[in-house]
Amino acid sequence: MILFQEASLEASEELLSEEKTLSVIDLIANGGTGSVVIIAILFVLLFVALYIYFERLFAIKAASKIDKNFMNQIRDHVSGGKLESARILCAQTDSPVARLTEKGISRIGKPLEDINKAIETAGTLEVYKLEKNVSILATVAGAAPMIGFLGTVIGMILAFHQMATSGGQAEMGQLASGIYTAMTTTVAGLIVGIIAYIGYNHLVVRTDKVVHTMESNAVDFLDLLNEPV
């Protein structure tokens, strides 16, 4: 009798375990058309966020690379009056710092204020290039959770609608299944939002470092022009 009870208990536990096992695909598919559509939208947003993140990350990483002796070489050329050699060196160096320096060299001979304004204008354009499409990540970070919540609200409305149309006789299993599946849209939205938010802030930090390097080298170049001959 005891053996029979133990076997029955084990069979019940195995049955419950099998019933509780549910794949992510099943959760999405069982949520109905609305859940599938919202999950598909979130998947597209995730793809866009990852694409922008890695594209900007590589671009910012490339912009941050510069020879440590670059400004020393510029100093030697400018001090020696070799402005053309300095321009060639800037043209051969593909970086925001080099482009700002080239802009300043092209204005040598004009008032220092004009040179400073030219460098600032060029710097603004370089920062714009670095921040290209980064704001989309911030939009995804804010929109994805709200889209996920929208899916959950739709699922809740459908569940309560089923309860209302059944005269309060709807099975709790069906209602719980619908609500449980609808919650997957919230989870998906939060995951996409968190990924986009972290990616956005990381790119902002990396961009700020490049901007700081640009400003530092611009100051060094202006100081070079102020040095007594």
Over residues 25-64, the pLDDT tens digits come to: 555 555 556 667 888 899 999 999 999 999 999 988 888 8
| pLDDT band for position 69 (cuts 50, 70, 90) | confident
Give me the residues paired with residue 108 across strands. 110
178, pLDDT greater than 50: yes
Q: Are 73 and 85 in contact (CB under 8 A)?
A: no
Q: Nearest 5°: phi and psi at 110?
A: -95, 170
Spatial separation of the C-alpha atoms in residues 140 and 145, rounded to whole Å: 9
**Pick from 156, 144, 147, 134: which is nearest to 208 by CA?**
134
Spatial separation of the C-alpha atoms in residues 151 and 154, rounded to whole Å: 5
Q: Report the pLDDT value the prediction gives residue 18, as an integer from 0 to 100.
A: 43
**Pick from 46, 47, 38, 56: which is nearest to 158 by CA?**
38
Helices (H) and strands (E) in the chain, counts: 9, 0
| pLDDT band for position 156 (cuts 50, 70, 90) | confident
The DSSP call for residue 171 is: -
